[in-house]
Amino acid sequence: MPTDGYENELRSEQDYVAGLYARLDAERARVRGHYNAALRDKGVTLVDRDVEVRALGREVKRLDVADNGLCFGRLDSVTGEHSYIGRIGIFDEANEFDTLLLDWRAPAARPFYTATGANSENMVRRRQFHSRGRNLVDFTDEVFGRPGQGERGDAALLAAVNAPRGEGMRDIVATIQAEQDEIIRLEHPGVLVIEGGPGTGKTVVALHRVAYLLYTQRKQMERHGVLVVGPNPAFLNHISRVLPSLGESNVVFMTAGEFVPGLRVTAEDEPEAARLKGSLAVLEVLAAAVADRQRLPEEPITIELSDATVRIDAATAEWAREEARKSDRPHNEARATFLEIVTYVLTERAIARIGKGWLTRDDKEAWEQMREDLLTELAENETFTAAIDQLWPILTPETLLAELFSSHDRLRAAGASEALYRAEGSAWTVSDVPLLDELFDLLGPDKRADDSAEREAKAEAAYAAGVLDLMVSREDHMDDEDHLFATDLLYAEDLAERFVERDTRDLAERAAADRDWTYRHIVVDEAQELSAMDWRVLMRRCPSKSFTVVGDLAQRRSAAGATAWGDMFDRYVPGRWVYRSLTVNYRTPAEIMAVAAAVLAEFAPEVRAPESVRACGVQPWTEELTSAEIPSAIAEFVREEAGREGTSIVIGPPGMPGTVPASATKGLEFDAVLVVDPERILADGPRGAAELYVALTRATQRLGVLHEGPLPQALAGLTPRTVPQEIR
């Protein structure tokens, strides 16, 4: 396009985008007005007001995400029609059927990502915008069918992948590639596995797929929300901006250590313990541990009643235990059956002794009256209560598991390995979480605690109602010297309202706090690290079995993680899981990927490294130093990178001062990476090789390696840095 023609076209596009922002601002003002009015509306019930406020609040959030890059392109069809593609949909104020901006998830927007020179999908041009904030800076055109034209204009893509990294992951909504778009829009109701090497964009593709599903299945998805599971809090913080930037907020983010609300993970298992806990074989250990707490008395337990002495012997307890187990109820609920049998036997024996010679079963009324009296006496008898607690105790998951792991005797009784023993039973690890979750179902709720909480809530509500009645009564009987202020009555009404059964938390807050919450869709990132027991938890959380699973088997670190996707999913969704792979590396430049690929070839020769889409022109380097010199070299790297735009990190073996272990950087990316002591990272066997592979593939621009001893053979391709120079 001639320069003058380009400038005229750019001004025209700038005017159009400015008009979109004006329409967006007007819509924001309208929705905020309705939102504020709903907050003040006293003419509806509290429940109705909450529903309206939440709906308007979601709309406010949706409109607030669009300031940056509202519109990122235009499609021109063979019929001469223009369609502008953007972050959200915007309609004409006068005609709601006139689309000013097409939501990127709409079917009509798909050619923006998929049209090629070979298959133009009835399009003649794809125009991509480059914006800063609200300002349209320039654009590039791709004319389909033009001789010599490639399938996809790379200007926008390369600008995005070369840009300095910020604190969080950015959405790729303006530069989605065709292979990514196919996965994002895949209409599969079961489990979708997306596998790809470092930098292939599998995480961000999964998040955009969630945004797409929330757009196309809004009613089904919003009711239960979406769960996103990541490997660590740093990773979740890194990706947490993507979905809100796409206008979606009904999403819960958590790690595998947070599956049980309120639990705090403070320790880490040895590999063998993690492997044992992650295997489904541990289910038998848990069941045996519960059964071990359903005891028989070694000697008869004597219960002194007012008119008789009775005993709980082994035969009675065994009968009660068998009946309780046959009820198929959770342990805490089955206690009622155990108690019923024991009290039946004891009251029958006591009645026979007390009524000997004068009471027969024919006198049903007297017999039952005596039974009721005895039941009341047993309930108040401390010896009897202690006996029941000893033989069939109320258990919590935390108590049972802590006592199991800290006792050699209990581990042996449950048929468990001594590798599970630890001195501090309640020093929870990530691998304990699915076991605790399983025990919630095996044990059931603590009925006594639930009843106590219910009684307390009723007492508070009754108190509030009483205060309100008192205030109203006082108003009715005031004399001239007795003044009732308006604030008094308002306070009473507010107090009573506190106990109205309503929940003002948003969906994400309610879901995250509720162990029994079920989700409509679950995304699992770094899925190769999850154990079979972790998957058991997640399958319970999603009855529809709708998952987007993201991982790379070559990066598996956990001893209990997946070695084949079918091993995890054939059990739960046979015939309902599909596999897709991403093969293009958008993050790691070719120079760095060549080094990482050499490491991959040594520990996983059957896996093909992803092909980098770009080169950066900077060769990764290595330098051999003494242990005394390494700290100052790390400090030098940190100082130099602090003066550059973008992000950087130092990765080293676990526990090394001044470094971060590779496991804590999974899924993250940085402009510059310094890897320290690769030989010590590798020393951890196959897991160490995977860790080094992860460390080397975090960099998007610059990579350096510091080492003490001989450089590992896999890193022989690195360029030595023999004299001090700028780390480029």
Would the annotation count 199 as a binding residue? Answer: yes
CA–CA dist 632, 211 (Å, integer): 46
Which of helix, strand or coil describes residue 623? strand
Find out whether 278 and 568 touch, Cβ atoms under 8 Å: no
CA–CA dist 629, 260 (Å, integer): 45
CA–CA dist 675, 19 (Å, integer): 49
420 Cβ partners below 8 Å, 6+ apart?
A: 273, 276, 277, 404, 405, 411
Would the annotation count 203 as a binding residue? Answer: yes
CA–CA dist 7, 11 (Å, integer): 6
Strand spans (E) along 422-576: 521-524, 547-551
CA–CA dist 496, 658 (Å, integer): 56
Would the annotation count 198 as a binding residue? Answer: yes
Instruction: Give the DSSP per-residue string, 485-517.
Output: -HHHHHHHHHHHHTTSS---S-HHHHHHT-TT-
Quote the DSSP letter at residue 660.
B
Would the annotation count 202 as a binding residue? Answer: yes
Would the annotation count 688 as a binding residue? Answer: no
Find out whether 656 and 646 touch, Cβ atoms under 8 Å: no
Would the annotation count 175 as a binding residue? Answer: no
Amino acid identity, residue 49?
R
Q: How many helices (H) and strands (E) are present in the chain, helices listed first?
A: 27, 21
Q: Which residues pair with 138 in a beta bridge?
A: 130
Quote the DSSP letter at residue 165.
P
CA–CA dist 158, 149 (Å, integer): 17
Find out whether 561 and 176 touch, Cβ atoms under 8 Å: no
Give the residue numbers of the binding site: 196-203
Give the residue numbers of the binding site for ATP: 196-203
